[in-house]
Structure 1
Amino acid sequence: MDWQAAEALTENVCATVFDRTPCTLRPRKSGISPNHKAGSDPDRQPFDFLGTIELEPPSDRLPRHQSVDPGIRNGSVSYDAVLTAHGGAWPYRPKRGDHVVSGADAWEIAADGQDGSVRLVYFLTRARDVVG
């Protein structure tokens, strides 16, 4: 077995062990101007997948992303949840702002932590407006 085969086997085993939460990705796009709300993205279709959602991850173990608030320079950014999933068969990679729906919970992708593998990581915040 070579390195690539071992990595693929490990990622598949992790997915069968950890990815048990049914989720739906709902793609979003920005409004036509900053004054317009974001809405559904008709160019990308929603899709279902299994993932792992960890609620209230500790902020001291996450990579730091600068806050969009110019008044916060030395503070850390916290997220409501972290989503991990095997994305090898996904039709496309989600973007910042896309929604992840799981049961009655809706999340917005705030950042990603990709490392080049098919095991994808997204940092989530509670979604304010859920697209049905």
Structure 2
Amino acid sequence: MVDWSAARALLEDSCADTFDKTACVLQPRKGGLGPNHKAVDDDSRVAFPFSGTIDLEASTERSGRNKPSDPETSGSVSYDAVLTAHIGAWPYLPERGDFVVADGVTWKIMAKEKDGSSRPAWYLNKA
């Protein structure tokens, strides 16, 4: 009898070992003191390093959740990049607005797509 949970965990670990070669740091952020203040680092969540995969050719097909506010647009939303990573040992999950620093570039998390695996996707724009 196959242990499907163990098989899936092994597959996700193998995928991470194969693809997650970019050294990244997650820098949590939070809103400023009020609506007129800029966002600041969130001291209640500690920044941490991880390995991930950043794809610079993000698809614009993901338009169902974050549609543009202008009804005259085509309905597609585009992002600068997509980040995937194995989140099994992470202390917490990133939130929209958090920063990811990789290869000297600071990215802002704009949206998230979770598919039930330990490898969600975050859609990024340059900060």
Indicate yes or no: 2:72 matched with 1:98: no
**What amino acid does structure 2 have at the position aligned with 1:109?**
I
How do 1:8-47 residues align onto structure 2 when only pairs under 5 Å count? 8-47=9-48
- What RMSD in Å do the two structures reach over aligned CA positions? 1.6
TM-score, with length taken from structure 1 = 0.88
* Equivalent position amino acid for 1:55 in 2: L
% identical equivalent positions: 51
| Matched residue type, 2:89 | A
1:41-67 CA-to-partner distances (Å, cap 9, x unmatched) read 00000000000000031213x353334
Cross-structure match for 2:116: 116
**Aligned-partner Cα distance in 2 for 1:123–1:89:** 21
Displacement after TM superposition at 1:71 (Å): 5.0
SS at match of 1:64: coil
1:83-115 alpha-carbon deviations (Å, 9 max, x no partner): 000000000000000000002111000000012
Q: Which runs of 5+ in 1 are unaligned?
A: 128-132
Please report how far the alpha carbon of residue 12 of structure 1 lies from its aligned counterpart in structure 2 after TM superposition. Answer: 0.4
Contact kept, 8 Å, 1:65 with 1:77, in 2: the verdict is no
State the Cα distance separating 1:75 from its structure 2 match.
2.3
**Higher deviation after alignment, 16-25 or 113-122:** 113-122
Q: Which whole-Å CA distance do the structure 2 matches of 1:52 and 1:109 have between them?
A: 14
Instruction: Tell me, in whole angstroms, the C-alpha distance in 1 between the residues paired with 2:43 and 2:94.
Output: 14
- TM-score normalised according to structure 2 size: 0.91
